Structure 1
């Protein structure tokens, strides 16, 4: 291992199950590992924040999971140490998907990383959000040229990729969103028919403009939107469930539908009458497809054929967020703001002041999560929702 690496590093660890992420995690200092023969040690530069982080620490994905456990699913960084049989060189920019990404350093199997042309925040949304869209639309939705595809929450972290992937397959794409800014954003991605459900009725638009129904639906909202989608499937239509946003802020374990009982009871007859089908999609069940699809997405992104949009809260109340800059000890935790920001602990930070000098280590994780407010194409969303990917910049000395 390179001598310049510190002996210890910090990471976030879930110490209890709760949908309140700040209460679920603590910062832990752990020894720096040495890569095994087939492993690489990555210094994280960017990590992605997803709704899945809340679902995981709330015990919704695995109700039997017991704390403590590592958190965070995806990272982009550079290899700083490698085993003698690893086929990835030190200094290589890589992306990866692995439990425990919310960490300064991450040890992973060399065969699971995706080589990248550079360490860039643009690659972060591809790893979970991009692959979820691409793999599910291909493997479950079986999208074909000329089909009509509807994407709900289309301006969100994964929706943006579903729109573009379906367009590249030659589909006509409808995208639901909640503001005029998002309508313009969807148009910039090539979406044929954005629907702002705050000003238009999704039901009316589908009834009047798409009387033959929807061939494929990429659904992540649940509740009334889910019901509308399944009732508007075409003959042999396919509905893919990749999330249930309406249930993410509940305090229950498991992901619970917010659709009415009557609507749920009607599903079998709707599917039967249309020879339609409804399928769930969970990315980890398609592990063999992850690396090849991630490589393809990175290639498209690198050549400008795919847009990868991240959001850092440029219009958030505290000023634009340029990143929660780790490290927790070596280099300090940095948050950059245009205007001075006063945290709940009474500390005031502006420019590149080191939070460790003003806030106890015990509360740094709360600061990183509580005061990062993100904006999804004009609509402010608290991180507790995590509907849109943001990036946390992680830099050392």
Structure 2
């Protein structure tokens, strides 16, 4: 097997992913024992993470330059290495392992992949973001039926799936998002209370309507939204930190106020960090559950209305997601860039 394929490589730390990365040619090779050779069809976009690694602002991932990029991809197996028995040529597979995403082909250990029913983008979203939603809400958030759940960035790729999973458990859902279009979208999913932070104060609404009533609050934004969730957590409630989109620099914000211990102790409440990469042992079970819900028509995947194609489209997709304009899951169709 000879020839080359294209991939996005981060070559320098820079203010933006676009400024630090470039498309490069890599040598094609046959899979070694225990490896798969996969032709990528679609890539899922994690623009916040991409921007933070470009700025060297992700403490938990040490980046050695240069590095390939991208986390999520779905494709088909083209060849398997010696000793591989669970995969065969033609299988549709997904990976959520960095850096398997932003490249035409992926050659990696078989343990980096999971089978999906077909090479359709819905299965990429479910195997990556759907699993993350289930892990954040049910594993880390320890959700119980009928609880009150608050979700920030509720119209995003992760948020719109968390909204649906919470509703399936009979929960009262409070969804936070920005703008009328996103608000209408989240309402269409069935959220009971939608807070448009561009038109209302999240702090004021929660204090007036949900004082000490949030059993589970999942925040991926940080800043004042995290503060509002924390202030209104219920007795024995759980505030789940799944990101900090408002802090692309990855530097702790210095806040002068009482320690959160005083807000937690008398309620028996907790703040819990959600890092999906640390929960890989639980992914297969979560994947089976979200796949079954989707197959039964109970969990739908909504994609952002903009279409991004080819490796060149990854840069536009990252910019779009970071801009805060995206709604639903952002993906890139890589098939147009393959030769």
2:285 corresponds to which residue? 292
Return the alpha-carbon distance in structure 2 between the equivalents of residues 228 and 243 of structure 1. 16
Residue 43 of structure 2 aligns to a residue in which SS? strand
1:22: Cα distance to partner? 0.9
Contact 2:156 2:326 (C-alpha < 8 Å) held by counterparts: no
Distance apart, 1:308 and its partner CA: 0.9
Q: Is the 8 A contact 2:212 2:231 kept in 1?
A: no
Structure 1 residues 186-225: aligned runs within 5 Å: 186-225=186-225
Provide the TM-score with structure 1 as the length reference: 0.78
* 2:234 paired residue number: 234
Task: Give the distance between the partners of 1:10 and 1:112, measured in 2 at CA.
Answer: 20
The 3 A distance-change label for structure 1 pair 229 and 382 is closer
Contact 2:234–2:269 (8 Å) recurs in 1: yes
Aligned residue in 2 for 1:324:
309
Cα distance in structure 2, aligned partners of 1:205 and 1:22: 38
- Find the aligned partners of 2:29 and 2:325 in 1 and give their Cα distance: 33
Q: Show the counterpart of 2:262.
A: 269
Question: Within 5 Å, which residues of 2 pair with 1:63-78?
Answer: 64-78=62-76
Partner of 1:8: 4
Partners of 1:243 and 1:213 in 2: how far apart? 22
- Is residue 2:124 matched to residue 1:131? no
Q: What is the CA-CA distance between 1:383 and the residue it aligns to?
A: 5.7
Distance in 1 separating the partners of 2:219 and 2:172 = 16
Change (3 A) 1:384 1:11: farther
Deviations 1:149-208 (A, max 9, x none): 100111111111111121222221110011222222112222121111222222332233
**Which residue among 61, 78, 99 is the counterpart of 2:58?**
61
Secondary structure of 2:260's aligned partner: helix
Runs of 4+ in 1 over 6 A off after TM superposition: 384-387
- Cα distance in 2, alignment partners of residues 83 and 307 from structure 1: 35
The CA deviation string for residues 275-294 of structure 1, in whole angstroms up to 9 with x for no partner, is 11101111111111123322
Q: CA deviation at 1:387?
A: 8.2
Q: Kindly provide the CA deviation profile for residues 325-374 of structure 1, in whole angstroms up to 9, marking residues without a partner as x.
A: 35xxxxxxxxxxxxxxxxxxxxxxxxxxxxxxxxxxxxxx5x75248864
Distance in 2 between residues matched to 1:34 and 1:384, nearest whole Å: 40
Structure 2 unpaired stretches of 5+: none
User: In the alignment, what sits opposite 2:176?
Assistant: 176
Root-mean-square deviation (CA), in Å? Answer: 2.3
CA distance in 2, matches of 1:183, 1:257: 30
Judged with a 3 Å threshold, the aligned counterparts in structure 2 of structure 1 residues 384 and 148 are, in CA distance, closer, same or farther, namely: closer
For the residue of structure 2 that corresponds to 1:13, the secondary structure is strand
- Matched residue count: 333
Q: 1:165 to 1:371 in 2, by over 3 A?
A: closer
Out of 323, 334, 339, the position equivalent to 1:394 is 334
Give the TM-score normalised by the residue count of structure 2.
0.90
Please tell me whether the aligned partners of residues 114 and 295 of structure 1 are also in contact (alpha carbons under 8 angstroms): no
Q: Comparing 28-37 with 121-130, which one deviates more in the overlay?
A: 121-130
1:389 to 1:54, Cα distance in 2 relative to 1, 3 A: farther
**Structure 2 SS opposite 1:98:** coil
How far the C-alpha of 1:382 sits from its partner, in A, is 5.4
**Max Rg structure:** 1
Counterpart position of 1:256: 251
| Matches of 1:156 and 1:134, distance apart in 2 | 15
Structure 1 stretches lacking a partner, 5+ long: 314-321, 327-364, 375-380
CA distance in 2, matches of 1:268, 1:120: 46
The answer to whether the 8 A contact 1:40-1:108 is kept is yes
What secondary structure, in the 3-state scheme, does the structure 1 residue paired with 2:246 have? helix
